[in-house]
Protein backbone atom coordinates (compact mmCIF):
# COMPACT_ATOMS: atom_id res chain seq x y z
CA UNK A 1 0.00 0.00 0.00
CA UNK A 2 1.31 3.50 -0.79
CA UNK A 3 2.49 5.16 2.40
CA UNK A 4 3.15 8.82 3.16
CA UNK A 5 6.16 9.32 0.84
CA UNK A 6 4.36 7.78 -2.14
CA UNK A 7 1.20 9.85 -1.54
CA UNK A 8 3.28 13.01 -1.08
CA UNK A 9 5.03 12.35 -4.40
CA UNK A 10 1.61 12.12 -6.05
CA UNK A 11 0.43 15.30 -4.28
CA UNK A 12 3.43 17.22 -5.57
CA UNK A 13 2.78 15.87 -9.04
CA UNK A 14 -0.82 17.07 -9.25
CA UNK A 15 -0.30 20.32 -7.33
CA UNK A 16 0.62 22.41 -10.42
CA UNK A 17 -2.76 21.45 -11.93
CA UNK A 18 -5.00 22.51 -9.06
CA UNK A 19 -5.09 26.23 -8.17
CA UNK A 20 -6.64 28.06 -11.11
CA UNK A 21 -7.73 24.87 -12.89
CA UNK A 22 -11.34 23.92 -13.56
CA UNK A 23 -13.00 20.50 -13.87
CA UNK A 24 -14.66 20.59 -17.28
CA UNK A 25 -15.76 16.97 -17.63
CA UNK A 26 -15.97 13.89 -15.40
CA UNK A 27 -16.30 10.29 -16.61
CA UNK A 28 -16.89 7.41 -14.20
CA UNK A 29 -16.00 4.04 -15.73
CA UNK A 30 -16.38 1.98 -12.55
CA UNK A 31 -18.76 3.12 -9.77
CA UNK A 32 -16.92 0.92 -7.26
CA UNK A 33 -14.26 3.62 -7.05
CA UNK A 34 -16.92 5.93 -5.57
CA UNK A 35 -17.80 3.64 -2.66
CA UNK A 36 -17.01 6.37 -0.11
CA UNK A 37 -19.00 9.03 -1.97
CA UNK A 38 -22.31 9.55 -0.12
CA UNK A 39 -24.36 10.06 -3.28
CA UNK A 40 -24.89 8.54 -6.70
CA UNK A 41 -22.56 8.57 -9.70
CA UNK A 42 -24.63 11.38 -11.20
CA UNK A 43 -24.34 13.31 -7.95
CA UNK A 44 -20.53 12.89 -7.98
CA UNK A 45 -20.30 14.12 -11.57
CA UNK A 46 -22.65 17.03 -10.95
CA UNK A 47 -20.76 18.08 -7.83
CA UNK A 48 -17.45 18.25 -9.74
CA UNK A 49 -18.14 19.51 -13.24
CA UNK A 50 -17.65 23.26 -13.53
CA UNK A 51 -15.86 23.53 -10.16
CA UNK A 52 -12.51 25.24 -9.68
CA UNK A 53 -9.77 23.42 -7.78
CA UNK A 54 -7.97 25.37 -5.07
CA UNK A 55 -5.04 23.22 -3.89
CA UNK A 56 -3.70 19.68 -3.41
CA UNK A 57 -3.53 18.82 0.30
CA UNK A 58 -2.34 15.73 2.16
CA UNK A 59 -2.54 14.37 5.67
CA UNK A 60 -1.03 10.94 6.19
CA UNK A 61 -2.13 8.74 3.29
CA UNK A 62 -5.16 10.88 2.35
CA UNK A 63 -5.25 13.48 -0.43
CA UNK A 64 -7.90 16.09 -0.94
CA UNK A 65 -8.52 18.88 -3.43
CA UNK A 66 -10.56 21.75 -1.96
CA UNK A 67 -13.23 23.01 -4.36
CA UNK A 68 -14.36 26.60 -4.90
CA UNK A 69 -17.57 27.11 -2.96
CA UNK A 70 -20.94 26.96 -4.67
CA UNK A 71 -22.72 27.42 -1.37
CA UNK A 72 -20.95 29.87 1.01
CA UNK A 73 -22.40 27.92 3.94
CA UNK A 74 -20.73 24.66 2.96
CA UNK A 75 -17.20 23.99 1.70
CA UNK A 76 -16.41 20.77 -0.15
CA UNK A 77 -13.38 18.84 -1.36
CA UNK A 78 -12.58 15.94 -3.64
CA UNK A 79 -11.07 13.28 -1.35
CA UNK A 80 -8.76 10.58 -2.67
CA UNK A 81 -7.36 7.48 -1.02
CA UNK A 82 -5.09 5.29 -3.16
CA UNK A 83 -5.83 2.08 -1.25
CA UNK A 84 -3.58 -0.82 -2.26
CA UNK A 85 -2.98 -0.05 -5.93
CA UNK A 86 -4.55 3.32 -6.78
CA UNK A 87 -2.71 5.64 -9.13
CA UNK A 88 -3.30 9.21 -10.22
CA UNK A 89 -1.88 9.70 -13.72
CA UNK A 90 -1.74 12.80 -15.89
CA UNK A 91 -2.17 12.72 -19.65
CA UNK A 92 -3.91 14.15 -22.67
CA UNK A 93 -7.02 11.96 -22.93
CA UNK A 94 -8.69 9.08 -21.04
CA UNK A 95 -7.93 6.46 -23.71
CA UNK A 96 -4.22 6.48 -22.88
CA UNK A 97 -4.69 5.18 -19.31
CA UNK A 98 -5.68 1.63 -20.26
CA UNK A 99 -8.40 -0.78 -19.08
CA UNK A 100 -7.93 -0.12 -15.35
CA UNK A 101 -9.03 3.51 -15.61
CA UNK A 102 -11.89 4.01 -13.12
CA UNK A 103 -12.50 7.78 -13.19
CA UNK A 104 -11.25 10.54 -15.50
CA UNK A 105 -11.31 14.30 -14.91
CA UNK A 106 -10.68 16.63 -17.83
CA UNK A 107 -9.28 19.95 -16.58
CA UNK A 108 -8.73 23.35 -18.18
CA UNK A 109 -6.03 25.73 -17.01
CA UNK A 110 -5.98 29.50 -16.52
CA UNK A 111 -4.15 30.05 -19.82
CA UNK A 112 -6.34 27.80 -21.94
CA UNK A 113 -4.28 24.64 -21.53
CA UNK A 114 -5.87 21.29 -20.75
CA UNK A 115 -4.92 18.03 -19.04
CA UNK A 116 -6.65 14.79 -18.08
CA UNK A 117 -6.42 13.38 -14.56
CA UNK A 118 -6.90 9.60 -14.51
CA UNK A 119 -7.67 7.50 -11.43
CA UNK A 120 -6.38 4.00 -12.20
CA UNK A 121 -6.85 1.17 -9.72
CA UNK A 122 -6.31 -2.55 -10.25
CA UNK A 123 -7.58 -3.91 -6.93
CA UNK A 124 -10.35 -1.34 -6.35
CA UNK A 125 -9.49 -0.59 -2.73
CA UNK A 126 -8.90 3.08 -3.54
CA UNK A 127 -11.66 5.65 -3.72
CA UNK A 128 -12.78 9.14 -4.70
CA UNK A 129 -15.53 11.09 -2.94
CA UNK A 130 -16.94 14.59 -2.60
CA UNK A 131 -16.99 15.40 1.10
CA UNK A 132 -17.95 18.30 3.34
CA UNK A 133 -15.04 20.26 4.81
CA UNK A 134 -15.05 20.84 8.57
CA UNK A 135 -12.90 23.28 10.54
CA UNK A 136 -10.10 22.08 12.77
CA UNK A 137 -7.89 24.48 14.74
CA UNK A 138 -8.47 28.04 13.46
CA UNK A 139 -5.35 29.47 11.83
CA UNK A 140 -3.54 26.11 11.73
CA UNK A 141 -3.24 24.36 8.33
CA UNK A 142 -5.09 21.05 8.26
CA UNK A 143 -2.49 19.38 6.07
CA UNK A 144 0.49 19.85 3.80
CA UNK A 145 -0.23 21.87 0.67
CA UNK A 146 -2.56 24.60 1.95
CA UNK A 147 -2.83 27.12 4.78
CA UNK A 148 -6.55 26.41 5.12
CA UNK A 149 -7.61 24.88 8.47
CA UNK A 150 -10.50 22.99 6.86
CA UNK A 151 -10.36 19.22 6.46
CA UNK A 152 -12.81 16.76 4.86
CA UNK A 153 -14.98 15.00 7.43
CA UNK A 154 -13.74 11.61 6.17
CA UNK A 155 -10.16 12.59 7.06
CA UNK A 156 -10.77 14.47 10.32
CA UNK A 157 -10.12 11.41 12.51
CA UNK A 158 -6.63 10.92 11.05
CA UNK A 159 -3.79 12.20 13.22
CA UNK A 160 -1.15 14.56 11.89
CA UNK A 161 1.95 12.95 10.43
CA UNK A 162 5.50 13.63 11.57
CA UNK A 163 6.28 15.80 8.51
CA UNK A 164 3.31 18.07 9.19
CA UNK A 165 4.64 21.49 10.28
CA UNK A 166 1.78 21.70 12.79
CA UNK A 167 2.48 18.30 14.34
CA UNK A 168 3.37 18.30 18.05
CA UNK A 169 5.93 15.49 18.22
CA UNK A 170 6.11 15.61 22.01
CA UNK A 171 2.34 15.13 22.22
CA UNK A 172 2.49 12.26 19.70
CA UNK A 173 5.25 10.63 21.75
CA UNK A 174 3.13 10.90 24.93
CA UNK A 175 0.16 9.41 23.10
CA UNK A 176 2.30 6.49 21.93
CA UNK A 177 3.54 5.84 25.45
CA UNK A 178 -0.01 5.44 26.74
CA UNK A 179 -0.43 2.31 24.63
CA UNK A 180 0.44 -1.13 25.97
CA UNK A 181 0.59 -2.67 22.48
CA UNK A 182 3.80 -3.45 20.66
CA UNK A 183 5.37 -0.36 19.19
CA UNK A 184 4.82 -1.34 15.56
CA UNK A 185 1.07 -1.70 16.13
CA UNK A 186 1.11 1.80 17.59
CA UNK A 187 3.06 3.22 14.63
CA UNK A 188 0.47 1.73 12.27
CA UNK A 189 -2.42 3.29 14.22
CA UNK A 190 -3.39 6.25 12.02
CA UNK A 191 -5.15 7.93 14.95
CA UNK A 192 -1.82 8.22 16.80
CA UNK A 193 0.33 9.40 13.90
CA UNK A 194 -0.54 8.99 10.25
CA UNK A 195 1.18 7.93 7.06
CA UNK A 196 3.21 5.03 8.48
CA UNK A 197 2.73 1.60 6.94
CA UNK A 198 4.62 -1.67 7.02
CA UNK A 199 7.65 -0.55 5.02
CA UNK A 200 8.53 2.61 6.90
CA UNK A 201 7.63 1.18 10.30
CA UNK A 202 10.19 -1.61 9.78
CA UNK A 203 12.81 0.87 8.57
CA UNK A 204 12.30 3.24 11.53
CA UNK A 205 12.38 0.35 14.02
CA UNK A 206 15.60 -0.93 12.45
CA UNK A 207 17.11 2.54 12.74
CA UNK A 208 16.29 2.74 16.46
CA UNK A 209 17.11 -0.93 17.22
CA UNK A 210 13.59 -1.65 18.46
CA UNK A 211 11.76 -4.97 18.12
CA UNK A 212 8.27 -4.58 16.67
CA UNK A 213 6.71 -6.10 19.82
CA UNK A 214 8.49 -3.79 22.27
CA UNK A 215 5.68 -2.40 24.47
CA UNK A 216 5.07 1.24 23.66
CA UNK A 217 4.41 2.08 27.32
CA UNK A 218 7.93 0.95 28.22
CA UNK A 219 9.52 3.61 26.01
CA UNK A 220 10.93 6.70 27.64
CA UNK A 221 9.80 10.03 26.24
CA UNK A 222 13.24 10.62 24.71
CA UNK A 223 13.28 7.21 23.04
CA UNK A 224 9.77 7.72 21.68
CA UNK A 225 10.91 11.04 20.22
CA UNK A 226 13.96 9.32 18.71
CA UNK A 227 11.63 6.86 17.01
CA UNK A 228 9.45 9.64 15.60
CA UNK A 229 12.60 11.36 14.37
CA UNK A 230 13.61 8.11 12.67
CA UNK A 231 10.19 7.91 11.00
CA UNK A 232 10.61 11.46 9.71
CA UNK A 233 14.13 10.69 8.52
CA UNK A 234 13.11 7.63 6.53
CA UNK A 235 10.18 9.58 5.05
CA UNK A 236 12.56 12.34 3.91
CA UNK A 237 15.00 9.87 2.35
CA UNK A 238 12.19 8.07 0.56
CA UNK A 239 10.83 11.36 -0.79
CA UNK A 240 14.22 12.22 -2.22
CA UNK A 241 14.09 8.98 -4.21
CA UNK A 242 10.48 9.22 -5.35
CA UNK A 243 9.07 6.69 -2.86
CA UNK A 244 9.26 2.90 -2.82
CA UNK A 245 8.21 0.79 -5.80
CA UNK A 246 8.34 -3.00 -5.82
CA UNK A 247 6.12 -3.35 -8.89
CA UNK A 248 4.12 -1.20 -11.30
CA UNK A 249 1.25 -0.72 -8.81
CA UNK A 250 2.89 2.40 -7.32
CA UNK A 251 4.01 5.04 -9.81
CA UNK A 252 4.07 8.82 -9.80
CA UNK A 253 1.77 10.95 -11.98
CA UNK A 254 4.07 10.40 -14.97
CA UNK A 255 3.97 6.62 -14.60
CA UNK A 256 7.47 6.33 -13.13
CA UNK A 257 8.35 4.24 -10.06
CA UNK A 258 10.39 5.36 -7.05
CA UNK A 259 13.69 3.72 -6.23
CA UNK A 260 13.92 3.87 -2.42
CA UNK A 261 13.57 0.07 -2.45
CA UNK A 262 17.28 0.02 -3.26
CA UNK A 263 18.05 1.76 0.06
CA UNK A 264 15.96 -0.38 2.43
CA UNK A 265 17.82 -1.83 5.44
CA UNK A 266 15.14 -4.15 6.84
CA UNK A 267 11.91 -4.38 4.86
CA UNK A 268 12.10 -7.11 2.23
CA UNK A 269 15.73 -7.87 3.12
CA UNK A 270 15.20 -11.32 4.67
CA UNK A 271 18.15 -13.58 3.94
CA UNK A 272 20.48 -10.60 3.51
CA UNK A 273 23.18 -9.53 5.94
CA UNK A 274 22.32 -6.69 8.31
CA UNK A 275 24.07 -3.52 7.12
CA UNK A 276 25.05 -2.77 10.72
CA UNK A 277 26.20 -6.05 12.28
CA UNK A 278 26.21 -8.65 9.52
CA UNK A 279 23.57 -10.94 11.08
CA UNK A 280 20.96 -12.27 8.63
CA UNK A 281 17.70 -10.27 8.46
CA UNK A 282 14.65 -12.40 9.30
CA UNK A 283 11.04 -12.23 8.20
CA UNK A 284 8.33 -12.94 10.77
CA UNK A 285 4.54 -13.05 10.69
CA UNK A 286 2.88 -9.91 12.03
CA UNK A 287 -0.80 -8.88 11.90
CA UNK A 288 -1.57 -10.87 8.72
CA UNK A 289 1.51 -9.40 7.09
CA UNK A 290 5.27 -9.61 7.66
CA UNK A 291 7.87 -7.82 9.74
CA UNK A 292 11.57 -7.71 8.96
CA UNK A 293 14.26 -7.22 11.59
CA UNK A 294 17.81 -8.00 12.58
CA UNK A 295 17.80 -10.59 15.43
CA UNK A 296 20.93 -9.09 16.97
CA UNK A 297 20.22 -5.38 16.61
CA UNK A 298 16.49 -5.73 17.41
CA UNK A 299 16.22 -8.48 20.04
CA UNK A 300 12.86 -9.68 21.28
CA UNK A 301 11.83 -7.74 24.44
CA UNK A 302 12.11 -9.50 27.76
CA UNK A 303 8.84 -10.33 29.48
CA UNK A 304 8.41 -8.48 32.76
Q: Would you mind telling me the total number of residues written for the chain in this entry?
A: 304
Q: Are residues 120 and 49 in the same domain?
A: yes
Per the domain annotation, does 298 fall within a domain? Answer: no
Q: Are residues 148 and 198 in the same domain?
A: no
Q: Are residues 174 and 106 in the same domain?
A: no
pLDDT in tens, 20-68: 999 999 999 999 999 999 999 999 999 999 999 999 999 999 999 999 9
- As for how many domains the chain has, the answer is 2
Judged against a pLDDT cut of 80, whether residue 72 lies above it is answered with no
Per the domain annotation, does 159 fall within a domain? Answer: no
Per the domain annotation, does 49 fall within a domain? Answer: yes
What is the model's pLDDT at position 74?
83
CATH number at residue 203: 1.10.8.50
Q: Are residues 71 and 194 in the same domain?
A: no
What's the CA gap between 82 and 60, in Å, rounded? 12
pLDDT in tens, 126-182: 999 999 999 888 899 999 999 999 999 999 999 999 999 999 999 999 999 999 999
Per the domain annotation, does 301 fall within a domain? Answer: no
Q: Are residues 197 and 277 in the same domain?
A: yes
The dihedral region occupied by 242, where left means phi > 0, alpha psi between -120 and 50, and beta the remainder, is left
Range of the structural domain that residue 117 is part of: 4-152
The residues that are catalytic are 2-3, 61, 289
Q: End of a domain among 123, 152, 181?
A: 152
pLDDT bucket at 250, cuts 50 / 70 / 90? low
Judged against a pLDDT cut of 80, whether residue 73 lies above it is answered with no
Sorted by sequence, the CB contacts under 8 Å of residue 273 that are 6+ apart come out as: 279, 280, 281
Per the domain annotation, does 111 fall within a domain? Answer: yes
Amino acid sequence: MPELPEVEVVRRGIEPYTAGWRVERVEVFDPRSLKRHPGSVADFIGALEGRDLLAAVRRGKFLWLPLADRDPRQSEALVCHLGMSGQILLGDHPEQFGPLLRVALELSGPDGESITWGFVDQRLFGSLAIDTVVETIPGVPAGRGSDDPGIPSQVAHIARDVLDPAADLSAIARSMRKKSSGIKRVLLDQTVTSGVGNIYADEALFSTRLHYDYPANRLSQSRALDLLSAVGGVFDRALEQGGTSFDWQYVNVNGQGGYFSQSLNAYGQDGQACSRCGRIIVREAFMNRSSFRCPRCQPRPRVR
